[in-house]
Copies of this chain bind each other. A is one copy, B any other.
Amino acid sequence: MDPQLDKLKFDSAGLIPAIVQDHQTGQVLSLYYMNRAAIEKTIETGKVHTFSRSRNRLALKGETSGHFEFVKSILADCDRDALVIKVEQIGGACHEGYYSCFFRQYERGAPDFKTIAEKTFDPDAVYKK
């Protein structure tokens, strides 16, 4: 077992938030939740695994799309209750077809957030085979 992981603080549901970031540009791609098993599997395989709260199971990011996230480094914060995972992102991180999930920008006075990115893939083609 890995003593570094013993020092992490998981919440009452056994989860810790993990910010996934492009290792070259610094762009934030997604915010996930991981349990200890997901972190261990991520370290073991070098590919990001999450704990899917909706499916209540471990999930390999990219298992359907092939859009894997290859781990370059893992950081913990001062309180050890949050992670940053720097990755090489294949395809795009977002199930809506964008490279990053954070494609909506707040604009003062607007009725809604504005989409500021172009899709990098067609989600219908990728997810509905």
Contact = CB atoms under 8 A, between A and B. Distances in A.
A113 B82 CA distance: 13
A111 B4 CA distance: 6
Interface string A79-117: 110101000000000111010011111111011110010
Question: How many A residues touch the partner, as a band?
Answer: 35 or more
A26 to B, nearest CB: 2
30 contacts: A3-B111, A4-B106, A4-B110, A4-B112, A17-B17, A19-B19, A21-B26, A21-B28, A25-B26, A26-B28, A28-B28, A30-B77, A31-B77, A43-B106, A73-B105, A74-B106, A75-B105, A75-B113, A75-B116, A76-B113, A77-B101, A77-B104, A78-B96, A78-B101, A78-B104, A79-B101, A80-B104, A82-B101, A82-B102, A84-B102
